[in-house]
Chain A
């Protein structure tokens, strides 16, 4: 008997008369085929015809771009877009600053602030926004000029920065970067969610893909918080700019890595559970 792992297995046909390469062949393995069956017309058996047999069920049987036997699956492509787009979560997540008595790095103010109000783009603040250190651009009452500066209330003990203290060139870069991230991040989230919805639509195992997507966003959120907090703590060696830059950069890295890791792990767990309940038909005796 040939090595089953190297054998090409075509979908079962309707019972034939030859007894070879059909449902009646005792020396071959087959899955449910193109004839109407419990899984429908286009079921898992379709790919088996052109791929070496696997000893376990295929883990990703989504439709492929390119040849039937290889190439990038649409699910993989949309998944890659989504993984990167999850970095946009920084625009909506609050990154904790360890050891700061409840301060967070955020790209938007607390409370209701109209677009015509604050010209700040980066905020290190508490739940209410009452205690805050924010990076602002505009007229500075202390220097008498228009510049990039810090505004702060109640955070001087943590960061040693006074209200209206000029933020210099690093502050300018951070202010602009935060402004782009605030709006660009939301665009990325929409792109990521769209890619995820598409990946669910084209996936053969829709439940598996939904689980992966949900885990991916959950992992991105957790990764942003965790790595962002580490970044903010490390960056506080250079208070203010370092804290914010560390928090934001850590959040983006954590969101991408956490999202990818959680999505992969969820897929593995799903497959393991599925394999556990999957029963392979016993090999027919000669």
Chain B
């Protein structure tokens, strides 16, 4: 059989320590933090914004297999509230869901109150089975700052790392404070790509 069109494969690409300012990254590589930018190409998308279902499924499975995820989710009963002056100036309440279940984690890409496409979502990656340590001020800095001190925040929150939406939600920015976890995450992503028929690329 002769194909008249080339078949566009599903691709997941990890760029290590990207430096171009166009990416508008929140995290910056340092001796304490490794930064990666995940990009994907899935044929047949382009009319609507948002993370394609196949990509969202793959990413949530990979992240949940390697760590425990905490993300902003109004369905959660756990809520961190700002102080009274903070409430007066409209600081948000942060509801957090913690899970290692990928079916739950996949919701993080589709939460209207904290839209992924407008970079309003944050994901905290921590050791499975541990109780995360959160303070409102830390979470607010993580959520609102264009350049949070991720090394310090990882220490405060007992976190391995963080994930953020990239520009227009078309990318995922990952900042990891543990090189061991970074290697583990890469292996998991590569493995998941194989399982989901995605082409895995890693560039630096």
- Segment at the B interface, from A7-15, A32-40, A152-160, A169-177: A152-160
Of all chain A residues, which has the CB nearest B48?
A153
Q: Is A120 at the interface (CB under 8 A from chain B)?
A: yes
Q: How many pairs of A and B residues are in contact by the CB < 8 Å rule? A: 79
In the complex the two chains form, is B117's CB within 8 Å of A112's CB?
no
Given contacts A136-B168, A141-B168, contact A114 B48 (CB under 8 A): no
Q: Given contacts A138-B24, A141-B170, is CB(A112)–CB(B114) below 8 Å?
A: yes
Q: Which of A109, A142, A146 contacts B118 (CB 8 A)?
A: A109
Question: Which residues of A are found within 8 Å of B170, using beta-carbon distances?
Answer: 141
A120 contacts which chain B residues (CB < 8 A)?
118
Give min CB distance, B42 to chain A, whole Å: 12
Interface residues of chain B: helix, strand, loop or mixed (majority)? loop
B144 within 8 A of A: yes
Contact across chains for A116 and B46 when beta carbons are under 8 A apart = no
Give the contacts of A135-166 with B (CB-CB under 8 A).
Answer: 136, 138-142, 146, 151-154, 156, 162-164
Whether B128 sits at the interface, judged by CB under 8 Å, is no
Contact pick for A113, options B46, B118, B168, CB 8 Å: B118
A151, B168: Cβ atoms under 8 Å? yes
Cβ A139 vs Cβ B113 within 8 A: no
B143, B145, B168: most-surrounded residue (chain A CB, <10 A) = B168
Q: How far is the CA of A153 from the CA of B168 in the complex (A)?
A: 12
Residues A117 and B168 in contact, CB atoms below 8 Å apart: no
Give me 15 A-to-B residue pairs in the complex whose CB atoms sit less than 8 angstroms apart, sorted by A's number. Answer: A110-B112, A110-B115, A112-B92, A114-B119, A115-B146, A116-B144, A116-B146, A117-B118, A141-B168, A151-B117, A152-B47, A152-B48, A156-B47, A162-B47, A164-B168
